[in-house]
Amino acid sequence: MCIRDSVVISAAAGSVGSIAGQLCKAMGATVIGFAGGGAKCAHVIDTLGFDVAVDYKAEGFADKFAEALGGKRVNVFWDNTSGPIAAAVYPMMADHGRVVLCGEISAYNSTTANEEALSHAQVNHLILERRLRVEGILVTEFFPRIGEALPTLIQLHSEGKLAGTAHVVNGFENTVTAFLGLFEGKNTGKTIVAI
C-alpha cells in the first residue's frame, strides 16, 4: 500500500470494513467506502474518516461510484460483500491492482443467482485483463500474529485515527435476531449481545 493508492472498501460501516478502511487511511491512501443508507454513509465519512462514501442502496450507485473516483482507477479493493458492489468495482480496477476477498455477504443466504453480480467468466476476464492479484483472507490465519498488530492498533486508536463502533443488542434472548441482522445490514460496526 502506498500514499497514492485509491482503496475501495465494501461494507465500510461494518466491523471489518470500518477497520480496514481506517488502517488504509492512516497509511495515507484515498479511501472510498460503500455503505447502505444515508446514516451509514455519514458515519463512514464523519466518524471513520473515509474520503467518500457511496450508498449502494441508492439508484445508480455504480455511476455515483465512478464519479467519486474522478477518473482514477482502484488500486486496492477490500471486498466484504461480492455481488453488485464487486460488479461495480472490478471494471474500475487499475492495472496490477489488488483485491482482498474477505467476505461475500451478498451471497450467504442467496438461493438464486444474483443478476447484478458478475459471472465467474467476467471476473476471470477482468483479473486477466487488468493483471490483478486476488487473495482470500480469513482472520483465523492471523491469530498467531495478533501480538504484532496490537501495538499499532492501540497507537492509532490513542491518536484518534482508529474509531470503534458497536451495535449493542440487549438480552441473550435476542442473540438470533442480532445475528440475522448482520445479513440485513441492521448493524453499524461490531454487533455485540449484552447479557
Round to whole Å and give the CA distance between 60 and 185. Answer: 19
Give pLDDT, residue 143.
92
Q: What cell was used for 99?
A: 483485491
Contact between residue 54 and residue 33 where contact means Cβ atoms under 8 Å apart: yes
Q: Kindly report the three-state secondary structure assignment for every residue of the chain.
A: CCCCCEEEECCCCEHHHHHHHHHHHHCCCEEEEEECCHHHHHHHHHCCCCCEEEECCCCCHHHHHHHHHCCCCEEEEEECCCHHHHHHHHHHEEEEEEEEECCCCCCCCCCCCCCCCCCHHHHHHHHHHHCCEEEECCHHHHHHHHHHHHHHHHHHHHCCCCCCCEEEEECHHHHHHHHHHHCCCCCCEEEEEEC
Q: What cell was used for 139?
A: 482472520
Give pLDDT, residue 33.
97
pTM of the predicted protein model:
0.87
Round to whole Å and give the CA distance between 5 and 106. Answer: 26
Give pLDDT, residue 186.
82
Closest residue by Cα to residue 100 from 125, 131, 77, 73: 77
Give pLDDT, residue 82.
87
Residue 121's CB is within 10 A of a number of other CB atoms, namely 8
Give pLDDT, residue 51.
96
Per-residue pLDDT of the chain (195 residues; tens, 9 = 90+): 566 799 999 999 999 999 999 999 999 999 999 999 999 999 999 999 999 999 999 999 999 999 999 999 999 999 999 888 999 999 999 999 999 999 887 766 665 655 666 777 888 888 899 899 999 999 899 999 999 999 999 999 999 999 988 889 999 999 999 888 888 788 888 889 999
